[in-house]
Amino acid sequence: MAEERKVSYDSGAVYISYSPEDIDWAEDELRPLLEKSHIKVLTSEDLITGAVTSLSRERVIEDTRRTIVVLSPEWVADQWNGFEADILIHTDPTAMTRKLLPVLLRKTEIPPRIARLTLRDLTDKRRYKRRLAQLVRDIEDVGPVPPPEIFPNRWEWYWRQARRRGATRGRVAAACIVLLLALLMAFQIWPFQRRQVWLEDARVPRVAVIHNSGSVLVAGAVQNLDACPPPEAPDKGLWFRSPAQGNSWQPGRVPGRLLCHTQKSDLSDINALASHPDVPDTIYALTSHNGLIVSRDGGQSFTAFTPEFSGSSVASQPIGLAVGGSGAQPILWISGGRDGGVWRFAGHDWQRMDENSSGCPMPTDIKVWVLLAQDDWVLAGSTQQGLWRVQGDGCQRLDAEGEGEQLDYRFLRAVR
């Protein structure tokens, strides 16, 4: 004899009982609302084909955890619906498990066996949306929470209280993450720990670059003054201090004429700082509009670097600076910003390397962001125009032609 197999339905779902006249509301409004709240829904549309109708309705009511009855004159007049109501009353006669959830969609005479239950009246249009939302909470058992004494686990009581106020696992997790980040920030724990150089002293405002020569720290700033300061103004965007802890920043002495941008009557920014490791007290500072200045006393005072940029050799808004060669005969390298280019100074005059077509095939409009000098040569990293090695009067591209067109070189570091 073949084994008997019975039809079964999802025990976690909610069944909606409605009359054919209310199918549009039940299927197109109520069902999407419940499913949006992650509630599984079954209706007469989901009954398995081929089964006896009465048995299918009995089975779906018994298997599912709730049945929403959409009350209307047509539902009350339908004998099949009365059959479903009898099954619900028989399954939960005392309404302890709230198996039946009545919803009044249109005014009608309510059967006595259903009238004894609290229902959601949706006939009042002013309160329609609020009561429909309450129906979703009814299904999720988030009504008034009993006192904590009856819960064996107090955390369960807290969770029920939170659920009543709209909490979900996702919202609780997000709140915990925000709280953790706030605590890490408040106590300055990683990744919000204090950065000693940048945060310890408010007397170094708008710092953009910082350089450690080995004997001194020098900081340069983006200027925040609208006009060139009077000669007695000490703060011109350059500061120095000893690397040892406990020392404070001191302003470097810079004549106003070395930083004043005459066309705009304001100060030039400090775009880069560099020094040679054999001469740590000689610090070179590259300005945005006034060329190169130099300090030979560890950042305490700055003077003009000679020979200065002049004529067509001027790097328009230079951005890169590196020092190579030796302590006695340094070689300086500068890269241009707006108009591109790479310049070298080896004791006499400035020479533009990317215009030497015979020995250096570097593009004349190359935008070099970063320079790394080693002895008599330099690495030049550009914006989507390759990584180059420049030595003597020649240069060589180090990356593949196609690769360099996809990369922006912003940092280069030497490993000793």
Q: How confident is the model at residue 347 (pLDDT cuts 50, 70, 90)?
A: confident
Strands 266-267 and 260-261: antiparallel
H-run or E-run covering 350: strand 350-352
Within 10 angstroms of residue 196's Cβ, the number of other Cβ atoms is 9
CA distance 381 to 388: 7
- Give the type of residue at 163: R
Are 299 and 240 a contacting pair, CB within 8 Å? yes
Q: What is the DSSP string of 231-254?
A: TT---SSEEEE-SSTT---EEPB-
Q: What architecture is domain 14-139? A: 3-Layer(aba) Sandwich (3.40)
CA distance 24 to 413: 69
pLDDT at 379 exceeding the cut of 60:
yes
Looking up tokens 């204090």, which residue turns up?
Answer: 194
Q: Enumerate the domain spans of the chain.
A: 14-139, 148-186, 196-404
Task: Name the token pair of 195.
Answer: 């950065």
**Model confidence over 65-96: pLDDT tens digits?**
889 999 999 999 988 788 888 888 888 888 88
Tell me whether domains 14-139 and 196-404 share a fold.
Answer: no
**Model confidence over 28-50: pLDDT tens digits?**
999 998 888 788 899 988 887 77
H-run or E-run covering 378: strand 377-382
**Model confidence over 165-217: pLDDT tens digits?**
677 788 888 989 999 999 988 888 878 776 554 554 567 778 889 999 999 99
The CATH code of the domain at 196-404 is 2.130.10.10
